[in-house]
Every structure is written in C-alpha cells, then in structure tokens.
Amino acid sequence: MRRKVVAGNWKMNKTNEEGIETIKELRNLVGEYKNVDIVIGAPSIMLADLAKVSAGSNVKIAAQNMYPKDSGAFTGEISPVMLKSIGIEYVILGHSERREYFHESDEFINQKVKSALAHGLTPILCIGEKLEERETGKTLEVNSKQIKGGMAGLSVEEAKKVIVAYEPVWAIGTGKTATPEMAQATHKEIRKVIEDMFGLEVSNGTIIQYGGSMNAANAAELMAQPDIDGGLVGGASLDAKVFEVIIKAGN
Ligand code: PGA
C-alpha cells in the first residue's frame, strides 16, 4: 500500500507572519492524522521560520524551487545545501508555472531532481499537459516526455525517492478539476511510463499526486482512485481549516 502525501503549494502568497500563523494553526489541526504525509511548499523567505514552527510535528516544509548547484555565483538562487541546513526535507520541482514563466526545460528540471536527491531532499516532480495538448490527444506524449526528461539518468534507488505530481495545466487555479476517472486514467499511464523506465517495483511504489483545483469537496473522491496517492494543492491549501479537510481525506 502506498502512503498518501498531501502537499500544499502556497506559491507567492502570504507574509512571513501569516505563514507562521497558518503553520501553527495547521499543526494543531492535523496532529492526529498518522496515515498521511503532510507537506507545505512555502516561499523561500519563510522556510527557516516555518521549519522551526513545524519542528516536532507531522507537518513538513518544502521549498518551491532550488538551483542545482551547491554554492556559487548564481545571484538570487537558493541551493540544496542551504535548504538542508535549515531542516527542509522536500522541494517542488518543475511546476508548470516555472516551466511557463521561467522557461524551465526538462533537462534543467532533471539537473534539479538529481541535485535534490544527492542532498537527501525529496523532489516533488510536477508534470502535466496543457489544454490544447489534451484536446489534440497529446496527453500521454507530453506527460511521458516530462517524466522521461525529469527522471532521466536516475538509479532505481534514486527513482524510488521521487514523488510525481500530475497537474493538468488546464486545471490549475481554474476551478476545472479533472474528473476522478480522467485523472485515474492518466495516473495509470504515468505509472506505466515509470515501470518502463525503472521496473515494476519502482512504479508500484511511486507516489503520484494529483494537482489542479483539488479542494475540500473533491479531494476524497480523487484520492479514492487506485493510482492517485495524494494531492498537490494550491489555492485550497492557504487556509489551514480548508486544507485540514483535504488532509483528512488522505488520512
Ligand atoms: P490549484 O494549484 O490547487 O490552485 O489549482 C495547484 C498547483 O498549482 O499546485
């Protein structure tokens, strides 16, 4: 049985104080949920404080991005060494907003995945097709390319540590969730791509989250699908009480 992982993605929202308050509230609400891993992806400026506020609880903190070098002349960037030094355990990589607005390629994302793994960070590798790609029958092709690119060159042991987040771009922030059946079918295809790359043991164990307008009303039905192992939740993760309902659905 795969354990569910419910991760929030705050994106570029909240002040530092608001972030701290939300984590304090969340850790009080979710302390009893033992059957789900809980992660919050926060803006980099908050990570150190949130790591402290969440310490000793079952709420883990993720970075939303990182640069695939340990240190050096990369103005404005944050390294895996820095993340580890403040107790961060997860990093969201290759989010569609980073692919779209910051032109991140599969090759660059692959460097980040490798660098994260080398430093003991768990990468949450985001993939997903755009609307026109789904409408023109390219869903599998696009997701397959992003998985093959993002996980290229990993050993079986490394591949086992990667969390995949399938986020159809047309469902992100739009309120248009994929139906549970549609999401399940795509998750199954993605798992097959992972099987072809790394074998059945890896693909059976890989956490594949769904993301894209997951909310308190649809989370349980989505996560009830056999190949949906949790969620990557944007808007509905900003409020601790709303997010708790989604976490409970994964517990
Ligand atoms: P959303 O975002 O839940 O607001 O659609 C999901 C994401 O982009 O991770």
Ligand 1 contact via 173 beta carbon (within 6 Å) = yes
CA of residue 124 to ligand 1 center, whole Å: 14
What one-character DSSP code corresponds to residue 217?
T
67: alpha, beta or left? (left if phi > 0; alpha if psi -120 to 50): beta
Ligand 1 contact via 167 beta carbon (within 6 Å) = yes
| CB neighbour list of residue 1: distance below 8 Å, 6 or more residues apart | none
Query: According to the model, what pLDDT value does residue 175 have?
Result: 87
Query: pTM higher than 0.85, yes or no?
Result: yes
Helices of type H across the chain? 16-30, 47-54, 80-85, 96-101, 106-118, 131-135, 139-150, 156-159, 180-198, 200-205, 219-223, 240-250
Closest atom of ligand 1 relative to the 92 alpha carbon = 9
Count of all residues that appear for the chain in the document: 251
| CB neighbour list of residue 43: distance below 8 Å, 6 or more residues apart | 10, 11, 12, 13, 14, 19, 64
| CB neighbour list of residue 176: distance below 8 Å, 6 or more residues apart | 170, 212, 213
Active-site residue identified among 97, 129, 158, 167: 167
Whether 95 is catalytic is: yes
| Range of the structural domain that residue 201 is part of | 4-250
Query: According to the model, what pLDDT value does residue 176 have?
Result: 87
Number of domain units in the chain: 1
Query: According to the model, what pLDDT value does residue 105 have?
Result: 98
Ligand 1 contact via 219 beta carbon (within 6 Å) = no
CA atoms within 13 A on the CB side of 226: 5
- Which two structure tokens, joined as six digits, stand for 51? 């790591």
Ligand 1 contact via 232 beta carbon (within 6 Å) = yes
Closest atom of ligand 1 relative to the 96 alpha carbon = 8
Ligand 1 contact via 64 beta carbon (within 6 Å) = no
b/e map of 181-220 (b: 16 or more CB within 10 Å)? eebbbbbebbbebbeebbeeebbeebbbbbbbbbbbebbe
CATH number at residue 98: 3.20.20.70
Where the chain has pLDDT below 70, the residues are none
pLDDT tens digits, residue range 6-63?
999 999 999 999 999 999 999 999 999 999 999 999 999 999 999 999 999 999 999 9
Ligand 1 atom 6 nearest Cα: 234
Q: What are phi and psi of 126, to 5 degrees?
A: -95, 135
